[in-house]
Amino acid sequence: MKSLPPLWADRILEWYCNPALLEEIQGDLHEIYDRQNKNRGKHKANLAYIWNVIRFFRWSNIRRQKSKYSTNSTAMFKNFLLMGFRSSMRNGLTTLINILGLSLGIAGAITIFIFADHQFHTDSSHTNFDRIYQITNHIKINDEIQDWSDSPIMLAPMMKEEISAVEDAGRVEFANAAFRHNDVVFNEFVWFVDPSFSSIFSFPTVEGSMNALQDRTKVLFTEEMAKKFFGDDPALGKPLSVKFQNGEIREFTVGAVIDRPVTSSFYFSIFLPMDVFNDLKFKDEYDWSYLTDATFILLRDGSTIGEVSGQMDRYKNLQHESLPDYYVESYAFHPLNGLSQDGHDIVSSVSGGAHPAGIIAMSIISAMLLLLSCFNYMNISVATITTRLKEIGIRKVVGSGRKQIIQQFLTENLLLSVFAMGIGVLIAYLFFLPGLSTLFPISIPFAFSSGASMFFLFFGLLFFISLVSGVYPAFYVSSFEPVQILKGKEKFGQRSLFSRILLTTQFVLAFTLIVGCFVFIDNAIYLKNKDWGYDYTDNYTIPLTKADQFLVLRDRAETLPFVESVAGSDGHIGYRNPYVAIDHLGTKVQTVHYKIGANYLQTMNMRLREGRFFDESIATDFEEGVVINEVFAERMNWDNALEQTFEVDSVRKTVIGVIQNFHHDSFYEQINPVMFTPVKENQFLTISIKAKPGQVGQVESTMKEAWKEIAPDDPYEGFVQAKVGEDFHTDNNANVNLLVFISGMALVLSCLGLFGLVSYNITRRKKEFSIRKVFGANTVTIFKLMNGDYTWILGISFLVGAPGGFF
């Protein structure tokens, strides 16, 4: 009886072994088995057989290569590359368009990625960043819990002393102060910080050291700020006098210049020691009722934040007793690294992190642009491949499988994508990123938070692009029957429904963006040219720091030949609009209340509708006269507003004049009721000057000089009235610029695509056009033939896309 080896072992062999090799291997094994069965018995033979099956389990036996003589894959791959290169060279223009379009899309994606990456990894440069937390307070206001950055000034020192898990704690107090170096004066935003900041955070310094925070005569600048005051000179040790808001002036020297890391989520320019703040405010008396702007703690190595939060209850009571209005529900701990993301949720946060929604929106847009460029690429690829149908046919006849043709086109795609990637990186580096940086207060470096994220981005992009743009053409083209191709029966390309849909989608997107953009810009232009309700072109205003400055400046200004009139006021239109609630017959009316000098209305070119302006010769005007705007009268339901009376701060006022409505706030906001009442000169906080037409520039230069004499410690902050309106627009402008850029790019991309497609089709139909011409077709007919198709597509996309843009 012939015995057989164990069936299951045989099965395993049959399962893993390459079928092409199975016969010889199994044959050899069986031969050995038979021999051993005879010589050494069935049992040992079985074991040996199983052992051999295991020994044959090698990659070279498993791999399903059809045979050793099938394809030489490296040589074939080389051939693919060569063919790809040749065909790209042959269609130089289309290839160029392809690569250019793709690289634009890639550049956009890279830029946005870097931007987002930068936003989300803002503070990792601090050595202890994973142990630094900001403490915030959950405060219940109007039945709504809000997360406030402000916390009691005593919290940090007490936590450091009482909670062992807290290694160090530091506070931030904001202030405004005027800094003067020789005759350079600027109003600056200051952070008072504890000396512990030098150990909690790791700020690198260019000059000096962070220890300067312990010295109450030292000020710490960022490089930027040092440049603003001292130019390129070394800043260390330079003297400065600082005028604080309580009027106190102190002398400081620069103790350190900080190289603020570009990825820092808090934006400070000047550090002053906390001791200085204590001197100014408390004279060393601490209490729980004062709220400082931010509190940071450094966790002890190995401790968890849970250990700290468990011990916070004791502070709640202290806080509630001294601050019943600021009832803290709980304390929250924000890790430093998340601060830039959480920042927008924290009330009066120190961190200026952008809202993630903005980044998400930008990411979506850049993804769309990338998709757009991929569509482009797909379209043009499909069209170009038509010329290569013969090549495909011959490849198939010679024995190439569908898989290989797909491989071929994907390889070519990858090649082009790599090219496009290189150019895209260049474009992003040279143009897009610097461009985006100008829209934000911080500059964004061309850098990644880690090598991994860079790897992820580049390979992800490459993979995405070459797959999205390449798969359809590759599969589509490889599906043709060789016989059909070689007979010349297979026709396709410009008639493909798919490519038309792609083109239409592309243009719908582009049109939507463009129309939306125009609507936006048009709106902005409309607002710019809109009547403000008064003539602002020749008006100039200087905010005062002391009321006695008014008389000096007025006397100076009135002697100037190019000054028409000078007036003072408490509030000022567009600069400071003080709101009050006016009670009239039981209804409260929110009203802007400007307290002004007698000739302010004339100086500001207000347009009188009824009655008169203030008259200094009429004594009652000063006591009870009031000038209102039209909205005020409407809101009060007065048909005839003159001589109507109402109460302001329990003083009866009589309307002596009504002026035309004017914009006191942003144009996006409605015009509110406005009233003007006269006040004495000692209450003026601004001085307004009306220049003779076109001479406002001279007013500015003269007044600047005068200002240096009377207030050398205060920065000069005069402005032309036109600037009030401009400020309303600057927010807008950044958005408009971004939108213009995006829609411009969408248009360029789509046009590149269309141009590529059309020029390609025209070269293909050259013969047809030549023959038509020979038979007498004129240019118009040929033009129609060339563009008829596309005009339709454009028309349809416009109809679909344009209304979309209006929303």
What is the binding site for another protein (CB under 8 A)?
A: 23-32, 34, 52, 55-56, 58, 60-61, 68
**Do the beta carbons of residue 94 and residue 380 sit within 8 Å?**
yes
Please give the Cα distance from 502 to 381 (Å, whole number). 13
Identify which of residues 40 and 390 has a Cβ nearer to another protein in the complex: 40
| For another protein, the closer CB: 64 or 283 | 64
**Beta-strand (E) ranges in 202-269?**
205-208, 218-222, 239-244, 249-258
Tokens 């200002």, located at residue:
707
Q: For another protein, give the closer residue by CB, 65 or 735.
A: 65
Query: Kind and range of the H or E element at 763?
Result: helix 721-764
**CB of 5 vs another protein, minimal distance in Å:** 10
d(CA 309, CA 306): 5
Q: CA 100, CA 424: separation in Å to the nearest integer?
A: 8
CA distance 265 to 129: 12
Reported as type and span, the H/E element at residue 190 is strand 184-193
Nearer to another protein, 54 or 394 (CB): 54
List the one residue out of 26, 98, 11 whose CA is nearest residue 61: 26
Of 17 and 371, nearer to another protein (C-beta) is: 17
- Minimum separation from the CB atom of position 404 to another protein (A): 22
Question: In whole angstroms, how close is the CB of 782 to another protein at the nearest point?
Answer: 57
Say which residue the tokens 């979309």 belong to. 804
Q: Rounded to whole angstroms, how far apart are CA atoms 603 and 568?
A: 10
24 or 325: whose CB is closer to another protein? 24
Choose between 31 and 161: whose C-beta lies nearer to another protein. Answer: 31
For another protein, the closer of residues 61 and 241 by Cβ is: 61
C-alpha distances (whole Å) from 6 to each of 42, 47, 227, 420, 430 are 10, 9, 86, 58, 70
User: Quick one: 69 or 775, whose CB is closer to another protein?
Assistant: 69
Q: Which is nearer to another protein, 65 or 590 (CB)?
A: 65
* Number of neighbours of residue 78 by Cβ within 10 angstroms: 11
Radius of gyration of the CA atoms of the chain, in A? 39
CB of 62 to another protein, least distance (A): 12
- Secondary-structure percent of the chain, ordered helix, strand, coil, rounded to 5: 55, 20, 25
Buried b (16+ CB within 10 A) or exposed e, 117-146: bbbbbbbebbebbebbbbbbbebeeeeeee
Instruction: State the nearest-atom distance from the C-beta of 768 to another protein, in Å.
Output: 51
Residue with tokens 């028409």: 564
Residue 392 has which token pair?
A: 């495909």
Task: Name the minimum Å distance from CB 41 to another protein.
Answer: 19
Asked if 295 contacts 156 with a C-beta cutoff of 8 angstroms, the reply is yes
Chain center to CA of 717: 30
Two tokens, residue 333: 């701990």
State how beta strands 686-691 and 563-569 pair. Answer: antiparallel
Q: Distance between CA 66 and CA 21 in Å, rounded?
A: 10
Closer to another protein by Cβ: residue 29 or 116:
29
Q: Give CA–CA dist 167/159, Å, rounded.
A: 9
Q: Least distance (Å) from another protein to the CB of residue 52?
A: 6
| Cβ distance to another protein smaller for residue 64 or 767 | 64
Nearer to another protein, 61 or 253 (CB): 61
CA distance 188 to 8: 84
Q: How many CB atoms lie within 10 A of CB 709?
A: 9
Closest approach of another protein to the CB of residue 738, in Å: 58
Query: Smallest gap, in angstroms, from Cβ of residue 370 to another protein?
Result: 43
Which is nearer to another protein, 10 or 167 (by Cβ)?
A: 10
Q: Are 342 and 353 in contact (CB under 8 A)?
A: yes
Distance of CA 172 to the CA centre of its chain: 26
Give the nearest distance from C-beta 31 to another protein in angstroms.
5
For residue 442, what is the DSSP state? S
Packing angle, helices 356-385 and 402-427, rounded to 10? 130
